[in-house]
Amino acid sequence: MSTATKDHAALSDIFNADEARVNWHDDTLWFVRAKRDKAAHTLPEWERLRDTASQIKDNVLSNLHDYLLQFESNAQHNGITVHWAADAAAHNRIVHEILNDNGIRQLIKSKSMLTEECHLNEYLKEQGVDVIDTDLGERIVQLAEEPPSHIVLPCIHKKKEEIGTLFHEHLGTPEGMSDPVFLTAAARLHLREKFMTRRAAITGVNFAVAETGEFVVCTNEGNADMGAHLADVHIACMGIEKIIPQRTHLSVFLRLLARSATGQPITTYSSHFSKPRPGQQMHIILVDNGRTTQLGREDFRNSLKCIRCGACMNTCPVYRRSGGHSYHTAIAGPIGSILAPNLDMKKYADLPFASTLCGSCTNVCPVKINIHEQLYKWRQVIVKEGYASPAKTIAMKTMDFTLSHPAVYQKAGKAGRWFLKHIPFAVNNRMNAWYKQRDMPEPPKQSFREWFKENNTMQKNNSDE
């Protein structure tokens, strides 16, 4: 299997080969999760904020059409050019057309998971357009020719020594230098030249306000602002679910977003873009790409409430120990495993199974998405639609037959105990993935049924009487 066709389990094996990295990745993300807890506990109204955010998003999803049109009208009134894209291909084409119209072949881009979802960088490269990512983490993975592994912390899987080597190769920093302060200064110098010379800047959108036609971009590095303010052409790319009705609602979402993402009280830069500066072009592309399909799936529509904070990833025991790349989709982790099957059920049929269903993701989600319940529901849909792997289908059918026939169940139990005791390698071998990471259990001497027959004193007493 090539990396492109491997499923979550196979890709996790690759990540798990480096146990020290897995432990460090796990600890780091748990540290971020703990920071989130502390930040949440400082606000007595935290749960009320989550409820309010969830209700605002409920309202948005029920009136999406109207809010989008209201936003379009107000944005146009402000001088912003609004484009609509039905899918990723249309989104990429629109970006390219805007660049072509302005004779631009080089641009800078701040963090936007939507552009990752649409594979914009790859598309523009094919068209001969050079894109430089300006978020530090994104620039690091771009230099490494890898996708981001986390929506907030794109290079969380990389050690500082690896980043030092990358910078040495690409930016000419001294060999062996891995001091984060030094490397950040080197990245700043490298990016400053791009900010000063590139005429187009792409940003994502965290929130778009229907009543004002403005949009808000949150970053900790100020790179979106720097790019958008200096460029002649600013293109903002936005999933249609990012709309909120009123500016006042930002007070709810901005408080939740930063605390849930990194434990900060507020994101360093929450910049409002409401109109182009004189002489500048400002475009916004409103992208569907499967969102209206998801909206129509009753059990899964709540996933569109997501504000991309990453908290569900930081808390997920499977994500922490399998790494973001094992999800083979732009948005990894629990929320990605709900969103991806909507785009391609066959390709992402493995993802809803990459969960313990412990519910920790649901507990931390600032907009109260019932993530683990949706993962469980996707499993049912995937099995029903015939997309579960053949091995899983056969195993589940066998289990179904065995559990519904008591005589078969008893015989299978007896045979299993005998095998475990006398020829354990028949079960514990390379063919059985279950034992790759597990120890063999001691086979019990008897089944519970046999034990119960021997020890059921009530029955014994009755027969003695």
Closer CB to ligand SF4, 330 or 365, in the complex: 365
d(CA 277, CA 281): 8
Question: Which member of 137, 148, 323, 366 binds ligand SF4 (CB under 6 A)?
Answer: 366
Query: At what angle are helices 333-343 and 371-384 packed, to 10 degrees?
Result: 30
Closer CB to ligand SF4, 186 or 307, in the complex: 307
Please state the closest distance from residue 367 (CB atom) to ligand SF4, in A: 5
Of the candidates 268, 373, 360, 349, the one whose C-alpha atom is nearest the C-alpha of residue 320 is 360
Of the candidates 259, 280, 279, 258, the one whose C-alpha atom is nearest the C-alpha of residue 269 is 258
Q: What share of the chain is helix, strand, coil (3-state, %, to 5)?
A: 60, 10, 30
- Cβ burial 62-94 (10 Å sphere, 16+ → b, else e): eebeebbebbbebbeeeebebbebeebebbbeb
Closer CB to ligand SF4, 204 or 366, in the complex: 366
Instruction: Verify binding: residue 312, ligand SF4, rule CB under 6 A.
Output: yes
DSSP 8-state code for residue 125: H
Closer CB to ligand SF4, 124 or 306, in the complex: 306
Please state the closest distance from residue 151 (CB atom) to ligand SF4, in A: 7
Please state the closest distance from residue 361 (CB atom) to ligand SF4, in A: 6
Question: Which member of 22, 202, 208, 335 binds ligand SF4 (CB under 6 A)?
Answer: 335
CB 243 within 8 A of CB 64: yes
**Which amino acid, one-letter code, is at 212?**
T
Q: Strand pairing partners for 217? A: 271
Please state the closest distance from residue 210 (CB atom) to ligand SF4, in A: 20
Question: Which member of 307, 332, 339, 388 binds ligand SF4 (CB under 6 A)?
Answer: 307
Closer CB to ligand SF4, 91 or 305, in the complex: 305
Stretch that binds ligand SF4, among 267-275, 306-314, 345-353, 416-424 (CB under 6 A): 306-314
Closer CB to ligand SF4, 31 or 452, in the complex: 31
Closer CB to ligand SF4, 137 or 164, in the complex: 137
How many helices, marked H, and strands, marked E, lie in the chain? 22, 10
d(CA 137, CA 19): 23
Question: Which member of 310, 324, 341, 352 binds ligand SF4 (CB under 6 A)?
Answer: 310
Please state the closest distance from residue 452 (CB atom) to ligand SF4, in A: 45
d(CA 148, CA 432): 32
The tokens describing 80, both together, are 């912003």
Instruction: Verify binding: residue 309, ligand SF4, rule CB under 6 A.
Output: yes
Give the footprint of ligand SF4 on residues 223-262 (CB under 6 A). Answer: 260
Give the footprint of ligand SF4 on residues 30-59 (CB under 6 A). Answer: none
Size of the site for ligand SF4 (CB under 6 A): 15
Give the footprint of ligand SF4 on residues 266-285 (CB under 6 A). Answer: none
Stretch that binds ligand SF4, among 189-197, 215-223, 228-236, 305-313 (CB under 6 A): 305-313
d(CA 264, CA 311): 13
Instruction: Verify binding: residue 365, ligand SF4, rule CB under 6 A.
Output: yes
Closer CB to ligand SF4, 112 or 260, in the complex: 260
* Residue 312 neighbours by CB under 8 Å, 6+ apart: 333, 334, 335, 361, 364, 365, 371
Closer CB to ligand SF4, 29 or 200, in the complex: 29
Neighbours of 382 (CB within 10 A): 22
Can you give the C-alpha Rg of the chain in angstroms? 26
Closer CB to ligand SF4, 200 or 331, in the complex: 331
Please state the closest distance from residue 448 (CB atom) to ligand SF4, in A: 40
Please state the closest distance from residue 216 (CB atom) to ligand SF4, in A: 16
Instruction: Verify binding: residue 369, ligand SF4, rule CB under 6 A.
Output: yes
HSE, side-chain direction, 13 A CA sphere, residue 418: 6
DSSP 8-state code for residue 103: T
Instruction: Verify binding: residue 311, ligand SF4, rule CB under 6 A.
Output: yes
Residue ranges that bind ligand SF4, judged by CB under 6 A = 260, 306-312, 335, 364-367, 369, 371
